[in-house]
Structure 1
Amino acid sequence: MVIYIDGDACPVTQEIVLLAKERELQVKLIKSYAHYSLQRYDSHVQEIYVDSANEAVDYKILAMVQADDLLITQDYGLASLALQKNCQVIHPKGFQYTQININTLLESRYQSAQIRKQGGRTKGPDPYTDEDRKQFKQVMRDTLS
């Protein structure tokens, strides 16, 4: 198993890196050049930078990820495509994407986009909390067990 991180806006990168190290798993952190960082990681983490074009990170992840790998992403569309490749996918807020919940999540995203297209406003995500981080770490540990 390789752990892939959709890294442009992942609030739990450090937690993933530490949990992966404990289990001697490789991590691939995929980011756009617009999110370049000087931070250096241990040898089990490979940083991969791609063009800053829309969806470039998603395309790179989909080209690399394989069945039974683990992906961490907030992107419902990317999660849906990774599930089709038989990957395990976790949201940074600590829930696992499944074939059962993905359609509901995609429908919600579509409905919100339609409202915005018509000039309406939709509520954005709630702020990331310590409880979200705790929940994520528990789900990640369970997934890696």
Structure 2
Amino acid sequence: MQIWVDADACPKSVKEILYRAAARTGIRLTLVANQPLKVPPSPHITTIRVAAGMDVADAHIAAEAEAGDLVITADIPLAAQLVDNRVHVLGPRGDVIDRDNIHERLSMRNLLDELRGSGIETGGPPPLKKSDRQAFANRLDQLLARTVSPAPGNTHSP
């Protein structure tokens, strides 16, 4: 298992939680973005810079993520592709996106997209709150506890 991050839109506080999780578990963390990223030095963390353009990072993640991997993204069309390929998907607010809820999320996303296309202002997501960060950290820990053991020499639980 490895963790992939749709890093262009991923909040900094969520990335910091992921950096700590990679260090704690030894799991490979790969951030994909179309801009340079500053990450802590770690043998477990890599970045991939893709060309600028709409959905280029998404396409890279969709092509590279394998069944059983975990992807962090708020992009619902990307999540739909990944769920179909048995990739675990977690939103930056701690929401698990899976076969049980992806169709509803896609429908809502498409409706909002149509409304925006017709000139109706739908607004964006609210700012990330402390409770959102905590929900993300808790859900990440739950997912990792089921699939990853701690790195050698590390006695902390995931």
TM range (shorter): over 0.9
How far apart are residue 37 of structure 1 and its match? 2.9
Structure 2 counterpart of 1:133, which letter?
R
Where does residue 124 of structure 1 map in the other structure?
124
Equivalence map 1:1-145=2 (5 Å): 1-11=1-11, 12-32=14-34, 35-145=35-145
Asked if the contact 2:6/2:73 (under 8 Å) is kept, the reply is yes
Please give the secondary structure, in 1, of the residue aligned with 2:54: coil
Q: Cα distance 1:19–1:77, how it changes in 2: closer, same or farther (>3 A)?
A: same
Q: How many residues align?
A: 143
Where does residue 149 of structure 2 map in the other structure?
none
What residue ranges of structure 2 are gaps of 5+ in the alignment? 146-158
Please give the secondary structure, in 2, of the residue aligned with 1:9: coil
Q: TM-score, normalised by structure 2?
A: 0.87
Q: 1 or 2, which has the higher strand percentage?
A: 1
CA RMSD in angstroms comes to: 1.1
How far apart are residue 62 of structure 1 and its match? 1.0
Greater shift in the superposed pair: 131-140 or 11-20: 11-20
Structure 2 counterpart of 1:99, which letter?
R
Asked if the contact 2:19/2:40 (under 8 Å) is kept, the reply is no
Q: TM-score, normalised by structure 1?
A: 0.94
Please give the secondary structure, in 2, of the residue aligned with 1:30: strand
Runs of at least 4 residues off by over 6 Å:
none
What residue ranges of structure 1 are gaps of 5+ in the alignment? none
Structure 1 counterpart of 2:72, which letter?
I
Please give the secondary structure, in 1, of the residue aligned with 2:26: coil
Provide the rounded CA distance (Å) in 2 between the counterparts of 1:47 and 1:112.
32
Where does residue 150 of structure 2 map in the other structure?
none
Q: Cα distance 1:39–1:24, how it changes in 2: closer, same or farther (>3 A)?
A: closer
How far apart are residue 99 of structure 1 and its match? 0.5
